[in-house]
Structure 1
Amino acid sequence: MYRTHTCGELRLKDVGSEVTLAGWVQTVRKFGSITFIDLRDRYGITQLLFGEDLNEQLEAAPLGREFVLQASGTVIERSNKNLQLPTGEVEIRISSFSVLNKSAIPPFTIQDDTDGGDDLRMRYRYLDLRRGAVKRNIELRYAVNRATREYLHQNGFMDIETPFLIKSTPEGARDFVVPSRMNPGEFYALPQSPQTFKQLLMVSGYDRYYQIVKCFRDEDLRADRQPEFTQIDCEMAFVEQDDILNMFEGLIKFIFKQVKGIDYTDAVERMTWEDVMFHYGIDKPDIRFGMKVANLKIPATVFDEKQAAVAASPIAGSTGFGVFDNAETVVAIAVPGAAEYTRKQLDELTDWVKRPQIGMQGLVNIKYNSDGSLKSSVDKFFTEAALQEIAKYVNAKPGDLILVLAGAEERTRKAIAELRLELGERLGLRKKDEFRLLWVLDFPLFEYAEEENRWVARHHPFTSPKPSQIETMIGNDPVIENAAEYLKHPYANIKANAYDMVLNGNEIGGGSIRIFQRELQEKMFAALGMTQEEAQHKFGFLLGAFEYGAPPHGGIAFGFDRLCAILGGSESIRDFIAFPKNNSGRDVMLDAPAGIDQKQLDELNIKLAL
C-alpha cells in the first residue's frame, strides 16, 4: 500500500495514528540535524518531520523539489501551528521513507505565485497542473460538470452521444476537416456543434437530450476562444420559448448553489435585443451596475420604436456644433462621482477612445460639479442652460461626469458600450463575486451582408422566426433589389424566436426555437442564397426527417469553459482547460499541429501544395 491517507486529510483527532503518505516534495527546510518537508498531493499539504535518526540517510541522498516520496510515521501535534492549512495543526514524525522517483529541477516554481510565464507553463503543462491555483480551477470545472448532470438528470434529460466525424456544411465558422483513407478525395468535418443531430433526436422521440460535448471551430483565437471547446448542449421537444427559459435559468441557479453556495433567488431579467442595444450599446450587457446609455441622436432607420423618445433630446435639432450635427449617432453616459476627474484623467480617457480597437475621433466631457454648475470641453458651443438640458436628459446628478461620443451608428454604439465597461471596471463596479443574469430576446432573424447583397442568419439557419412572422417570411421574396434600402425589406423586421443568456457582460448561452416544417426550412435556406440543389446536398437528411412527424422543439447551448471561467473569476477560459492551445492554436507541450510523414500522405491520397 503506497498510502493510508492523503496529504489533505489528517487532523488533531488523528494524533497518535501510524500513517503512510505519498506525494510530491513541495519544500525542504533544514534546521541543523532536523529536516522539515512539505509533502503535497491533489488533496493538500502535510508537514513531515525527519529527526536526527534519519539525518545520515538524508545527507547521503538529499531530497529535492518534486521528488515523489513515500513516508511513514506517527501523527503528532505541531508546536508551531499553521492555521492557514487544513492540516496545519499536525505533522508526521517520520520513521521510514522511500524515494519513489526523483525529479529534475522544475523549470518554474510549483506554487500559486509562480515565476513561470505563460509560454513556459504551457510547455510544461503537466507541471503547471500541480499548482494549487490551477488545481482549484480544474476542481471547479468538475463541480460545474457534476452539478449540470445532476440537474438535467433530475429533469428527465438523457445524455446521448453524437458523432465527431460528420459532413462539412459550412455556415458560419470555418470547419476542421479530416481526410478519409477509405474514401479517397473525400473528407469528414469535426462538428462546430451537434445542432442537426440534436434536432434529429427530437424527430426520433428523445424529447429531452443533453451532452457536455467537444465542439470545433477553425477561427482566430483570443482569451475566451479555443479551436476545441466544450458546451452544454441541450434540446427539448413540445416546448415554447418560456419553457426553455424557465428550465435553463433553473440550471444556472442550481450550478450557482452547488458550486458557489449562492442562492440566486431573483427573477432573471428579460430584455429585447432592441432594448439592450439602445440602453447599453451591446447585446451582452453587464447589468451589475447602471450607467445606461443616453441616446441624444439616432438614425431614422434604426430603433423605430425609440424615435419619439429621442425626438425630445436637447440636441434633436441643429446645435451649431458640427461634431453633433453631422453625426449619425450621439450617445452619452453619466459616470457617478467622476466630476472630480483631473485634466490628465480626461485626456487619458480621450486617448483611450481614440485607440484603433475603439476607433473614435474624440470624446466630449461635461462636469456636473457638486455645486450644480457645469463645465465642459464644448463650452464654446453650448451655454450652461443648454448643458443643464443635456445633464437632465442623461439623468446626471451633481458630482457626475457626462461623457459623449458622436459618429457612425454601429461604431459609436460599440464604443460607448466599451467605454461604459471600462469605467465600470475602473470604478470597481464589476465585482467578480457578484453575479447577474439576463435573458436577451427577440433578435433579428437576419443580418444583411452588404458585400454579398444577401441575407445571412444572425444565429444559424435552423432558427425559427417568431410565430406571428412566419407568414411574412413564407410570403415574401428574400431578394434585395435596392441595397441602400435593405432596412425597408420585410425580412429586416423579422424577429427570431431566439434567446441568449448573459452573465456579467458575457454571453454564456444561446439558443432558439427551431424550424420543424420542411416548407419553412427550405424558405430559410433560399433566403440565405442556397439553391434547392445545395440545400438538398447539404441538409437533405434533415429536410427528409421533417417529413416524418417532426415535433416542435427548441434548445440551448452553454459555453461550458466560459461559464467555469466566470465562476472562477478569470478572464481566460484557458485557465479552466486541462490542456489548452495557445493564441496561435498550438499545443506547445505536444508541439502540435505537426507534419505527417510521406507514407501517411500517400495512404490518404494527399499531395501538399506548399
Structure 2
Amino acid sequence: MHRYRSHTCGELRASDVGADVRLSGWLHNRRNLGGILFLDLRDHYGIVQLVVRDESSEINEKLSSLSKESVVRVDGKVTARGEENVNADLPTGEIEVEVGAVEVLGAADQIPFTINAEDGVNEERRLEYRFLDLRRERMHRNVMLRSKVIASIREKMVAQGFNEMATPILSATSPEGARDFLVPSRLHAGKFYALPQAPQQFKQLLMIAGFDRYFQIAPCFRDEDARADRSPGEFYQLDMEMSFVEQEDVFEVIETLMTELFRELGDGREVTSPFPRIPFREAMVKYGSDKPDLRAQLELTDVSDLFKGSGFKAFADKHVRALPVPDTAAQPRKFFDQLGDFAVEQGAKGLAWVRVGDDGALSGPIAKFLTEDDVRSLTEALGLKPGHAVFFGAGEFDEVSRIMGAVRVEVAKRAGHFEENVFRFCWIVDFPMFEKDEETGKIEFSHNPFSMPQGGLEALRTKDPLDILAFQYDIVCNGTELSSGAIRNHEPEVMFEAFGLAGYSEDDVRRDFGGMLRAFEYGAPPHGGIAPGIDRIVMLLADEPNIRETIAFPLNGNAQDLLMGAPSEVDDTRLRELHLSLRKPQQQVKPSK
C-alpha cells in the first residue's frame, strides 16, 4: 500500500464498503458521542467521516488530544452508515471509516480562527494566516474555480486559432494610466525597469512580427489603490490580439469565449448572446454609467428640454434625468423615503419623485410645481400610465449620471425589476478619443493612447478633438467592466497627430515609443485586441463582492502582503549595489503639552 494513501478523502462510496483503506488529511472536526469518537478528515478532494469505537484505545487517546487541523494518516476499514445516519450533503455520506491505525504527520498549534465554519474573522487576520484561510471550503472552491477558468480559457482560445506566447516582465515605463512599479538596475546606475501595466506594446509588436493571433494569461502590475473590484499591485488578464481585423471580429471571438465559459462554469445561470452594442454616450444617458448593470430592467431618460425655462427652479436650465418605474401602485411611502435616503448616500441633496394615479394625475412632493404642460410632456415622453412612479435627478451631467445610475439599479432591485441568476453582457462602443482635464484644461487621451481614431488622420486634423470617437470598446457584465480594448493605430503619421493633440511632441513620441514607432515604419497590419480580467471573471462566477476573495495570495487594501511581510526594507549593502539611497518622509514631531 502507498506510504500515505490508497484513496483520497472525497472518493469513497457505498461500493467501497468492506475495503481496507489508507487516508491522509487534516482533522477537520471532532465529536465524542457516548464514548464513540467521530472525526471528519479533509483533504483537497473532500471530507470523510472516521469513527473510533473503543474509548480506551491508544488510537482514541491520540486522536482526542490532537489539535484540529493536525495532519494525520489513518488505516481503516470502510463500513456502511446506518440509514438514519446517512449524510446526504456529503458525497461520502453513506460510509465511514473505522480507524485501525493512526500516524501523526504534522501536529498543529492552536489555530487562530475556525476553519470548518465562516466565523466572521476580519480580513487582516485572514490574510496574515492565508494558508489557513485557504483551507476553508469557500476559499478553496474559489481558487479551484480560478484554475478551471484559466484552463477553460486556454482550451477555448486555442480552439479559435490563437497561440499562447509570453511577453517580458522587465521592460520600459509606459503611460497606461496608472503608476508603474519600478525595478532599479544594478548594471545601469540610475536607470530603472518597469513592471508591465499590460503587455500592450509587446502584443502589438507580435502582430507586426506576423504572428496573427496571440494570447496569454498575463500578469500585470499597477501601483494603484485598491477597490472592491480592483486588487492593488498585480492582477491577471486574458491578453489577446488579432491581425487584419475590425471591431466586430474581436467581438465575435470574445462573445464566443465568454458565452461558452460562463455557461460552462456559471452554475446554470443564463447567458444571453449576442451581446448588445451600446454607444458610450447612450450608455451614460440611459444607464448613468459606462458599465451598466443590464439586470436592472429600467432606463433613464433625458428630460432636460422639457424643463428649459420652467418655473420650477429646481429643474430649470439644468440637466434633468427621469427614471420611470411601472407597477408601483402598491408601494408604501416608506419605499420612496428609503430610496431618497439611498440617493443622499450617493451624494444627492434628495430625490424628487411623482406617481401616476388611476386618473392620470400626478401626486408626490414635486407634483404641485409641475404645470399641465409639464405633466402632458412628461406623460408623452416617458409613456406614463397609472401605477407608474418617476424619480428625478437634476444638476451637472456627470453628477446626475453617477447618482441616478446608482438609483436606477437600487429602484430595480426594490421594485421587482431586477433579474437574478443571470449574466447580462454588453459592449460599450464609440468612446471619445480625447477628454479635457478639468483642472488644467489640457486635452488628454480618455482611453488607450494606441487606439485608432474613427475617421483616421482626417478626423484628427479637421475635427474638434472632443468630438473624435475612437475604435475603443469595453466589455461589461452585470455592472462590472471586465476589460477595455481597441482597434489599434498602426500608422506612424496618425500616431504623431494623435499624440500631438494630447501635448506630445514628435521627439516625445520617438523617445517614449521608439520601439513601437520603428516597427510601424516597417509595415504594420491593421490589428486589435482586448484583455478581460481573470480576477473579475472569477469574481462574477463565484458571486463574490470583493476581488481579493478570488486570489490565492492577494495584497491587502494598503498594498501589503501580511503573510510574507512585503513590502520590506533592504539593507545598506543591497542599496549600494543598486546605486540607491533612501529619502524617507520626515515624521512630524507632536508638540509637547
* TM-score relative to the length of structure 2: 0.93
Of the candidates 211, 218, 223, which is equivalent to residue 218 of structure 1?
223
- SS of equivalent residue, structure 2 residue 321: strand
Aligned residues: 577
Shift of residue 260, structure 1, vs aligned partner: 2.5
Shift of residue 602, structure 1, vs aligned partner: 1.4
Whether 2:310 is the aligned partner of 1:319: answer: yes
Alignment of 1:29-68 (within 5 A): 29-52=31-54, 55-59=57-61, 62-68=65-71
Unpaired runs of 5+ residues, structure 1, are 298-310, 477-488
1:544-593 alpha-carbon deviations (Å, 9 max, x no partner) = 01111111110011011011101111121111000011111111122221
Give the match for residue 139 of structure 1: 144
One-letter amino acid of the counterpart of residue 310, structure 2: T
Give the match for residue 11 of structure 1: 13
Of the candidates 335, 340, 348, which is equivalent to residue 338 of structure 2?
348
Q: Would the aligned equivalents of 2:86 and 2:93 in 1 still touch at CA under 8 Å?
A: yes
Unpaired runs of 5+ residues, structure 2, are 585-593
Rate the CA distance shift 1:64–1:428 in 2: closer, same or farther, 3 A. Answer: farther
Give the match for residue 589 of structure 2: none
Give the match for residue 290 of structure 2: 283
One-letter amino acid of the counterpart of residue 279, structure 2: T
Alignment of 1:25-104 (within 5 A): 25-52=27-54, 55-59=57-61, 62-79=65-82, 80-104=85-109
Work out the percentage of aligned pairs sharing the same amino acid.
Answer: 40
Alignment of 1:451-530 (within 5 A): 451-466=439-454, 468-473=455-460, 475-476=461-462, 490-530=464-504
Point out the more displaced range, 3-12 or 44-53: 44-53
Shift of residue 170, structure 1, vs aligned partner: 3.1
Give the match for residue 604 of structure 1: 578
Of the candidates 512, 516, 523, which is equivalent to residue 542 of structure 1?
516
Of the candidates 282, 293, 301, which is equivalent to residue 294 of structure 1?
301
- SS of equivalent residue, structure 2 residue 368: coil
1:442-497 alpha-carbon deviations (Å, 9 max, x no partner) = 1111111233332211211100012x343121x34xxxxxxxxxxxx622221111
Rate the CA distance shift 1:110–1:195 in 2: closer, same or farther, 3 A. Answer: same
Rate the CA distance shift 1:57–1:198 in 2: closer, same or farther, 3 A. Answer: same
Rate the CA distance shift 1:597–1:516 in 2: closer, same or farther, 3 A. Answer: same
- SS of equivalent residue, structure 1 residue 84: coil
Give the match for residue 25 of structure 2: 23
- SS of equivalent residue, structure 2 residue 341: helix
One-letter amino acid of the counterpart of residue 346, structure 1: F
One-letter amino acid of the counterpart of residue 68, structure 1: V
1:35-79 alpha-carbon deviations (Å, 9 max, x no partner) = 110001111110001121763443256232101011111111111
Once superposed, what is the RMSD of the aligned Cα atoms? 1.9
Mapped partners of 2:416, 2:424: distance in 1: 15
Of the candidates 102, 108, 111, which is equivalent to residue 116 of structure 2?
111
1:356-386 alpha-carbon deviations (Å, 9 max, x no partner) = xx33222211122456443111133125774
Point out the more displaced range, 225-234 or 447-456: 447-456
Whether 2:246 is the aligned partner of 1:272: answer: no
Give the match for residue 307 of structure 1: none
Rate the CA distance shift 1:464–1:34 in 2: closer, same or farther, 3 A. Answer: same
Mapped partners of 2:479, 2:533: distance in 1: 14
Mapped partners of 1:471, 1:60: distance in 2: 82
Mapped partners of 1:532, 1:389: distance in 2: 53
Give the match for residue 413 of structure 1: 401
Mapped partners of 1:116, 1:167: distance in 2: 41
- SS of equivalent residue, structure 2 residue 422: coil
Mapped partners of 2:226, 2:519: distance in 1: 36
Of the candidates 561, 565, 573, which is equivalent to residue 591 of structure 1?
565
Mapped partners of 2:416, 2:97: distance in 1: 45
Q: Would the aligned equivalents of 2:339 and 2:411 in 1 still touch at CA under 8 Å?
A: no
Mapped partners of 1:599, 1:541: distance in 2: 35
Give the match for residue 587 of structure 2: none
Shift of residue 253, structure 1, vs aligned partner: 1.0
Q: Would the aligned equivalents of 1:191 and 1:215 in 2 still touch at CA under 8 Å?
A: yes
Alignment of 1:120-131 (within 5 A): 120-131=125-136
Mapped partners of 1:232, 1:24: distance in 2: 35
Q: Would the aligned equivalents of 1:432 and 1:569 in 2 still touch at CA under 8 Å?
A: no
Shift of residue 238, structure 1, vs aligned partner: 1.0
One-letter amino acid of the counterpart of residue 224, structure 2: E
Give the match for residue 302 of structure 1: none
Whether 2:390 is the aligned partner of 1:402: answer: yes
One-letter amino acid of the counterpart of residue 66, structure 1: E
- SS of equivalent residue, structure 1 residue 250: helix
Q: Would the aligned equivalents of 1:374 and 1:384 in 2 still touch at CA under 8 Å?
A: no
- SS of equivalent residue, structure 2 residue 242: strand
Mapped partners of 2:472, 2:183: distance in 1: 32
Mapped partners of 1:77, 1:142: distance in 2: 34
Mapped partners of 1:385, 1:340: distance in 2: 27
Mapped partners of 1:112, 1:296: distance in 2: 52
One-letter amino acid of the counterpart of residue 266, structure 1: S
Shift of residue 158, structure 1, vs aligned partner: 1.1
Give the match for residue 540 of structure 2: 566
* TM-score relative to the length of structure 1: 0.91
Mapped partners of 1:243, 1:430: distance in 2: 31
One-letter amino acid of the counterpart of residue 556, structure 2: N
One-letter amino acid of the counterpart of residue 33, structure 2: F
Mapped partners of 2:530, 2:449: distance in 1: 15
